[in-house]
């Protein structure tokens, strides 16, 4: 028997409804995230429903806003880093987190930040492509297949190494809303738990080397 920790402590950063957070919570309950401890949820928006999901799952949840931290990115990220340190967080999962993190922040968690993006990167990604805008752009372009991507976060928005992708069919009568829902159901909610487990397992293996 060794004394190495068997789980990686993860924080999930959210801004909204938190269905991807819910997929992680459900994945954990179903035993699909054996290398992950969901240790903290942080919302940058007051009253995000994701916070309620965290409470129901007994996961510590915090609201950290820019406004309450000097109104600057520096103040906001200093508060974030402080919370992450206090909870001994080793891995960060961005699950519908609508704030772009600075290069300095990303460097501190190099290869330890994951993001889910609702398209097949490199299509419909980068600055300005978030939420429904991604699906609006896909419909406007007339693609017949879209999907979701989980990638590592680096200094380029949606530019880090791709970990997992899944394709989803676009149907003739789709609206941005129906397409968003199908991409979530058929891709995002399975990909994010899978990728989180994958990265956590790799981090544990590195620790044991």
* Residue (112 or 117) nearer to ligand GRF, CB: 117
Q: Which residue is nearest to ligand GRF (CB)?
A: 96
* Residue (52 or 74) nearer to ligand GRF, CB: 52
Q: Within a 10 A sphere around the Cβ of 191, how many other Cβ atoms?
A: 21
Q: Parallel, antiparallel, or unpaired for β 36-43 and 145-152?
A: unpaired
Supply 34's token pair: 């054996």
Find the catalytic residue in 88, 117, 151, 208: 117
Q: Is the dihedral of CA 88, 93, 95, 99 positive or negative?
A: positive
What's the closest the beta carbon of residue 57 comes to ligand GRF, in angstroms? 14
SS (H, E, C) 90-143: CEEEECCCCCCCCHHHHHHCCCCEEEEECCCCCCCCCCCCCCHHHHHHHHHHCC
* Residue (77 or 188) nearer to ligand GRF, CB: 188
What's the closest the beta carbon of residue 126 comes to ligand GRF, in angstroms? 13
* Residue (75 or 154) nearer to ligand GRF, CB: 154
Q: Report residue 203: phi and psi, to 5°.
A: -65, -40
What's the closest the beta carbon of residue 92 comes to ligand GRF, in angstroms? 14
Residues lying near ligand GRF in the complex (CB under 6 A): 14, 16-20, 50, 95-96, 116-118, 130-131, 184, 188
Question: Has 117 been annotated as catalytic?
Answer: yes
What's the closest the beta carbon of residue 51 comes to ligand GRF, in angstroms? 11
* Residue (75 or 131) nearer to ligand GRF, CB: 131
What whole-number distance in Å separates Cα of residue 115 and Cα of residue 160? Answer: 9
Half-sphere exposure of 163 (CA within 13 A, CB side): 24
Closest CA to 115 of 7, 6, 15, 5: 15
3-class DSSP state for residue 1?
coil
Q: Is the dihedral of CA 187, 192, 195, 201 positive or negative?
A: negative
What's the closest the beta carbon of residue 124 comes to ligand GRF, in angstroms? 11
* Residues annotated as part of the active site: 117
């Amino acid at each position: 028997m060794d004394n190495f920790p068997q789980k990686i402590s993860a924080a999930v950063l959210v801004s909204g409804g938190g269905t991807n957070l819910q997929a992680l919570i459900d994945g954990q309950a179903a035993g699909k995230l054996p290398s992950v401890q969901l240790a903290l949820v942080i919302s940058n928006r007051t009253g995000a429903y994701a916070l309620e999901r965290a409470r129901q799952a007994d996961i510590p949840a915090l609201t950290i806003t820019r406004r309450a931290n000097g109104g600057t990115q520096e103040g906001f990220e200093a508060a974030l880093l402080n919370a992450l340190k206090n909870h001994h967080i080793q891995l960060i999962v961005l699950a519908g987190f609508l704030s772009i993190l600075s290069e300095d922040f990303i460097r501190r968690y190099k290869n330890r930040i994951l993001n889910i993006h609702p398209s097949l990167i490199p299509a419909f990604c980068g600055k300005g492509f978030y939420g429904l805008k991604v699906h609006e752009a896909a419909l406007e372009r007339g693609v017949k297949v879209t999907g979701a991507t989980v990638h590592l976060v680096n200094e380029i928005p949606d530019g880090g190494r791709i970990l997992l992708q899944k394709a989803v069919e676009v149907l003739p009568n789709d609206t941005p809303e129906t397409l968003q829902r199908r991409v979530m159901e058929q891709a995002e909610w399975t990909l994010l738990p899978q990728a989180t487990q994958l990265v956590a397992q790799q981090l544990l293996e590195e620790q044991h080397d």
